[in-house]
Amino acid sequence: MATEMDIEQDLNILVDETITCNTNQNLIYKFFNHKIREAETESRQKLKNLRRLLAQRNEISRKVCTIKEEIEMLHDQCSSVGELIRLIGTKKALVKIQPDGKYLVDIDKKMDVKLLKKNVRVALKSDSYTLHKILPTKVDPLINLMMVEKVPDSTYDNVGGLQKQI
């Protein structure tokens, strides 16, 4: 028969095993909590990286579309540049093209006639001379440098005259 001492020893062993088991469970719980936190941190980093890559992809896609449009425009026929003299109705316009002269041209159906004003630079299709685009009023900076801003008041007599040439 089990004595009181044997029962007490068995009870102590059982308590030690329970404590060890609880300690092991606590260690396992801490280990998995740590792993979960690591996985959550890694997940946040990957999500942040994904958002950055998506933004980068969208930016590159936008640039590709812009370049495709530019290439398409380069493959189109060239246009003549002219100056709008006046509108004649809503379908025709009088345009001055340097050095050719003045032309009565059709206005493209896609053009907004309300935007056309006198002395505006316009583009004409080279094959049909149809007014299809309003050009910016900007002039190349090199052309601005070549323009004479102040006309000098000197004459040929001031620089020696033209007697030898005549």
Residue 38 lies in a domain: yes
Q: Residue 116 in contact with residue 107, Cβ under 8 Å? A: yes
Residue 134 lies in a domain: yes
Domain that holds residue 47: 27-75
Residue 155 lies in a domain: no
Q: How many domains does the chain have?
A: 2
pLDDT tens string 136-156? 877 667 766 676 667 677 777
Residue 164 lies in a domain: no
pTM given for the model: 0.42
Element (H, E) at 80: strand 79-88
Computed over every residue of the chain, the mean pLDDT equals 81
Residue 64 lies in a domain: yes
Does 85 share its domain with 46?
Answer: no
Q: Residue 107 in contact with residue 90, Cβ under 8 Å? A: yes
